[in-house]
Amino acid sequence: MITEFIQQIPKAELHIHIEGSLEPEFMLNLAERNQIKLPFTSVEEIRQAYQFNHLQSFLDLYYLGSRVLLTEQDFYDLTWAYLEKVACQNIRHTEIFFDPQTHTQRGIPFEVVLSGIDQALQAGQKKLGISSRLMLCFLRHLSPESAMEILKQAIPYQDQIIAVGLDSSEQNHPPSQFKDVFEVARNLGFLTVAHAGEEGPPEYIWQAINLLKVSRIDHGVRCIEDPKLVQYLKEKQIPLTVCPLSNVRLKVFPTLQHHNLKTLLDLGLCVTVNSDDPAYFGGYILENFLETQSALNFSFQEIYQLAKNSFLASFLGEQEKHNRIDELDQFMQQFTQKLS
């Protein structure tokens, strides 16, 4: 019964890298379509490579896979495949990251990447009823100057990009390095988010809050090591976009049973469930909910709270948030009636 509940409950996803939804079958198809040489010849070989020791070992493969994406159609197809998939999982709203530097560095124009993704998102709203927002991530292993350059390229498309974020290799790349570029972005009207406290220390979460002035922390699970930080996140209700299957695959936690999502929820933090890079980590949002529930024994009420948090923490307008939460509450009523 809880499986059916999790499947049907309306939910939002707030942390998904669109390049991380590139399924192995599609990677091979695109490699052939675009005449790109990959060090793999079969889906099995690609899947076998999905043995990660830490974030960097994943990122190496993720950037390699992204090389098959060349045209506007490729970015459209990638985004559309993700939307079709999650429509069946009752996602009502999604906030998607893209990594423009991964593509512009290979000579793909910013506009090509953006246009392909954006057209698919518009089709997703029209044909699947999924609303969306797009977020641009700066790669923190590259320089702040490179981030500033990509920010400039984003200015003409500002009405299509709600926020800027910070991703890639966390260790030794503190948020403080990107203070200036985030300040420029905020002055231009972008909202801000940042990956912090995934592999990096709680100090990086403080920096993301105090220096980058983020609206949400992506991951943030290492906040638990700093009680003052936990208290602050609770008081301010700064959302954490937690990605349970990702954390296990990248060895942040040894198993899902060891994950601290339930602890953080019990402590009153605004935590949400997300997929991060679903093609690489063994599941989309539904699988993240189902496997985490099974490992941590979440109740119906806790699943409801996680779904509610996903709308509360979203970048939807206030009225729209209320509408989505009303829809969620109606679903709860109907489901409870069915049970009794």
Ligand X SMILES: Nc1ncnc2[nH]cnc12
Q: Which residues pair with 134 in a beta bridge?
A: 96
Among 27, 167, 173, 178, the residue binding ligand X under the rule CB under 6 A is 167
**Residues 52, 218, 142, 63: what is their CA dihedral angle, to the nearest 10 degrees?**
40
CA distance 201 to 226: 9
To the nearest whole angstrom, how small is the minimum distance from the Cβ of residue 233 to ligand X?
A: 19
Beta pairing, strands 271-273 & 240-242: parallel
Annotated binding residue at 17?
Answer: yes
Give the residue from 43, 40, 61, 44 showing the smallest Cα distance to 52.
61
CB nearer to ligand X: pick between 61 and 224: 61
Does residue 296 contact residue 273 with C-beta atoms inside 8 Å?
no
Give the residue from 47, 57, 53, 56 showing the smallest Cα distance to 22.
47
Annotated binding residue at 99?
Answer: no
Among 27, 277, 278, 283, the residue binding ligand X under the rule CB under 6 A is 277
198 is catalytic: yes
**What residue is closest to Zn ion based on CB?**
276
Q: Which of the following is catalytic: 198, 287, 302, 318?
A: 198
198 lines the binding site for ligand X (CB under 6 A): yes
Does residue 132 contact residue 87 with C-beta atoms inside 8 Å?
no
User: In this structure, what token pair is assigned to residue 265?
Assistant: 């929820």
66 lines the binding site for ligand X (CB under 6 A): no
Q: Which residues pair with 75 in a beta bridge?
A: none
**Contact of residue 168 among Zn ion, ligand X, none (CB under 5-8 Å per partner type):** ligand X
Number of residues binding to Zn ion, judged by CB under 5 A: 1
Identify the burial level of 172 via C-beta atoms within 10 angstroms of its C-beta, where 0-12 means exposed, 13-18 middle and 19 or more buried. Answer: exposed
To the nearest whole angstrom, how small is the minimum distance from the Cβ of residue 275 to Zn ion?
A: 9
Among 13, 72, 95, 276, the residue binding Zn ion under the rule CB under 5 A is 276
To the nearest whole angstrom, how small is the minimum distance from the Cβ of residue 139 to ligand X?
A: 8
Among 79, 89, 192, 246, the residue binding ligand X under the rule CB under 6 A is 246
* First and final C-alpha spacing in the chain: 13
CA distance 283 to 274: 10
17 lines the binding site for ligand X (CB under 6 A): yes
166 lines the binding site for ligand X (CB under 6 A): no
CB nearer to Zn ion: pick between 59 and 230: 59
**Contact of residue 11 among ligand X, Zn ion, none (CB under 5-8 Å per partner type):** none
276 lines the binding site for ligand X (CB under 6 A): yes
Write down the H helix ranges in 277-317: 278-281, 285-296, 300-312
Among 92, 93, 173, 195, the residue binding ligand X under the rule CB under 6 A is 195
Annotated binding residue at 15?
Answer: yes
CA distance 11 to 8: 9
CB nearer to ligand X: pick between 168 and 310: 168
CB nearer to Zn ion: pick between 28 and 175: 175
How many other β-carbons are positioned within 10 Å of the β-carbon of residue 310?
31
By annotation, the residues acting in catalysis are: 198
Positions in the binding site for ligand X (CB under 6 A): 17, 20, 55, 62, 167-168, 195, 198, 246, 276-277
Binding residues: 15, 17, 195, 276-277
